[in-house]
Amino acid sequence: MDQYVGTPLEVRMDKDAGTFQVSRRVFTDQDVLDREHEKIFQRCWLYCGHDSELAEPGSFITRTVAGRDFIFNRDTRGKVQVFYNLCTHRGGRVCREKSGKASTFQCFYHGWVFGSDGSLRVIPQEGAYPEGYKNDSRGLVHVPRLEQYRGFWFINLDANAVSLSDYLAGAKEYIDNIVDQSEIAMTIVPGGQNFQVDANWKLWHENGMDPFHVHSVHSTYFEYSADATKAGTERAAAQGVSTAEFDTKASAEVMMRGRYNALMQTKTKLVYDLGNGHMAYDYPSTHGRPFAQWHPSWDPKYKAELEHVYEKAVARVGAERARKMAHFDHHILIFPNLAIVDNHGIMIRTYFSKKPEEMLVQSWTLAPQEESPEVRKLRLFSYMDFLGPAGFGTPDDVEAIEAAQRGYKGAEDYGGWNDLSAGVAPKDPMNFVKHGDEGRMRVFWTKWQEYLSS
């Protein structure tokens, strides 16, 4: 018998048959999207920006979160604020710059001026109003809730939401392992990438949770990586640099079918339900990591410095945490629409749909503040090489999910369902211990349905 996780129309599980399915309507239906906006995006904590983006008093950034335009700033007294980028006069756009430093913002429509703390300072036609009209009630509107965890600022449109700390639950430990990669603080590398993808936002979130596509979708990258590893091993040998500690053959063949399947079947716990719809999974890394694992595919000149960074990390956080932080890739998916991917670099990415079949993707990369210019250069190359919008990884992922989205167009004709059943065993239907299980996605979909049904 079917056991519906929520309404029978959207997510269903049949333990006896070992199936978990998601209706394809959820990627195409405007009504579903409207419900998501109301029941998820108006109630969950949403990533807004990083502390390092507001380096000094007066720094500001205009940012779109959940389709709304905000000013994310540090006021001239140093307090971080988020205001709707909307004039209290007649709705003009108060700040039209992407970023900068300002003690005041002047609406371009009729010239009202607001302080960096949001207070209304000047009404050009003030004489036409009663005395005292220019008061706090006409200042910029604050977002209902604004909280941060270790430099990651989140907003919530629900004034009654639980605290950010409670909401993040087990994800905090993973954020700690990102932040503690620095001796001082992590920093957003200036700039970022915004791009549109012709697919529903949930497809990108699923893609981030899903290592099952990697072997087939990213095969070009692995061929390139194998060549680079072979050439790099020869280069290192010519320079007398040892690569003995690396299983370069396995590394060159990483994700080749046999090895990949073995990883998928491992009983080692590498996938974690972090609570509240968040999940994470780890991989023993087989490529170079800017923190702090040199690899033969990289120039030997970086080896000594990365080994030193690793030694300092061991001294700072202990051998076990340092090993996990440096030698494993980490994918952290925070409900509903934030991915923090720590593999070829650290990527922070959000995605949001205004229409069911398209989304705006926003990406940034994070780095230790104290990193040397040489390693920073290597980090950015490594990041863009795979995770950048024109790298080896992202365009292939975009192609995969856009093709799926196009296919869903007919879903209403034939009542199509996506299958997320791997690992639904009668004794443990939410099993996600084995790497090959799709329980990782079921964590998201179960929470998604819970929000939509509430």
Contacts with ligand FES, residue ranges (CB under 6 A)? 87, 89-92, 107, 109-112
Cβ within 8 Å of residue 131, ≥6 positions away: none
Q: Does 210 bind Fe ion (CB under 5 A)?
A: no
Instruction: Please choose, out of 273-281, 297-305, 317-325, 395-403, the segment that lies near Fe ion by the rule CB under 5 A.
Output: 395-403
Q: Report how far Cα 281 is from the mean position of its chain's Cα atoms.
A: 14
Give me the residue label for tokens 């209304």: 120
Closer residue to ligand FES (CB): 109 or 133: 109
How are beta strands 338-342 and 346-355 bridged, if at all? antiparallel
CB of 123 to ligand FES, least distance (A): 8
CB of 282 to Fe ion, least distance (A): 16
Could you tell which of Fe ion, ligand FES, none binds residue 397, using a CB distance below 5 to 8 A set by kind?
Answer: Fe ion
Site string for Fe ion, 214-233 (x = CB under 5 A): --------------------
Torsion of CA 77, 79, 83, 86, to 10 degrees: 10
Closer residue to ligand FES (CB): 112 or 281: 112
Buried b (16+ CB within 10 A) or exposed e, 74-97: bbbeeebbbbbbbbbeeebebbee
Site string for Fe ion, 397-436 (x = CB under 5 A): x---------------------------------------
Site string for Fe ion, 23-62 (x = CB under 5 A): ----------------------------------------
Residues forming a β-bridge with 151 = none
Helix axes 303-317, 319-327, angle to 10 degrees: 140
Positive/negative CA dihedral, 254, 255, 259, 260: positive
CA 271 to CA 277: how far, in whole Å? 13
Closer residue to ligand FES (CB): 125 or 160: 125
Closer residue to Fe ion (CB): 50 or 349: 349
Could you tell which of Fe ion, ligand FES, none binds residue 111, using a CB distance below 5 to 8 A set by kind?
Answer: ligand FES
CA 439 to CA 164: how far, in whole Å? 25
Could you tell which of ligand FES, Fe ion, none binds residue 253, using a CB distance below 5 to 8 A set by kind?
Answer: none
Closer residue to Fe ion (CB): 254 or 309: 254
Closer residue to Fe ion (CB): 322 or 347: 347
Query: Tokens representing 123?
Result: 């009404």
| CB contact at 8 A, 191 and 231 | no
Closer residue to ligand FES (CB): 92 or 144: 92
Q: Residue 250 carries which DSSP code?
A: H
Residue closest to 200 by CA, chosen among 48, 76, 353, 89 = 353
> Closest-CB residue for Fe ion?
397
Number of residues engaging Fe ion in binding (CB under 5 A): 1
Could you tell which of Fe ion, ligand FES, none binds residue 87, using a CB distance below 5 to 8 A set by kind?
Answer: ligand FES
CB of 112 to ligand FES, least distance (A): 4
Site string for Fe ion, 349-388 (x = CB under 5 A): ----------------------------------------
Helix axes 439-453, 201-209, angle to 10 degrees: 150
Closer residue to ligand FES (CB): 81 or 106: 106
CA 407 to CA 24: how far, in whole Å? 9
Closer residue to Fe ion (CB): 307 or 399: 399
CB of 129 to ligand FES, least distance (A): 13
CB of 65 to ligand FES, least distance (A): 21
Closer residue to ligand FES (CB): 8 or 91: 91
Residue closest to 401 by CA, chosen among 27, 101, 116 = 27
Could you tell which of ligand FES, Fe ion, none binds residue 89, using a CB distance below 5 to 8 A set by kind?
Answer: ligand FES
CB of 394 to Fe ion, least distance (A): 8
Buried b (16+ CB within 10 A) or exposed e, 130-165: eeeebeeebbbeebebbbebebbbbbbbeeebeebe
CA 408 to CA 198: how far, in whole Å? 12
Torsion of CA 167, 169, 171, 175, to 10 degrees: 90
Query: Tokens representing 226?
Result: 């194998």
Query: Tokens representing 37?
Result: 């906006």
Could you tell which of ligand FES, Fe ion, none binds residue 107, using a CB distance below 5 to 8 A set by kind?
Answer: ligand FES
Contacts to Fe ion by CB under 5 A: 397
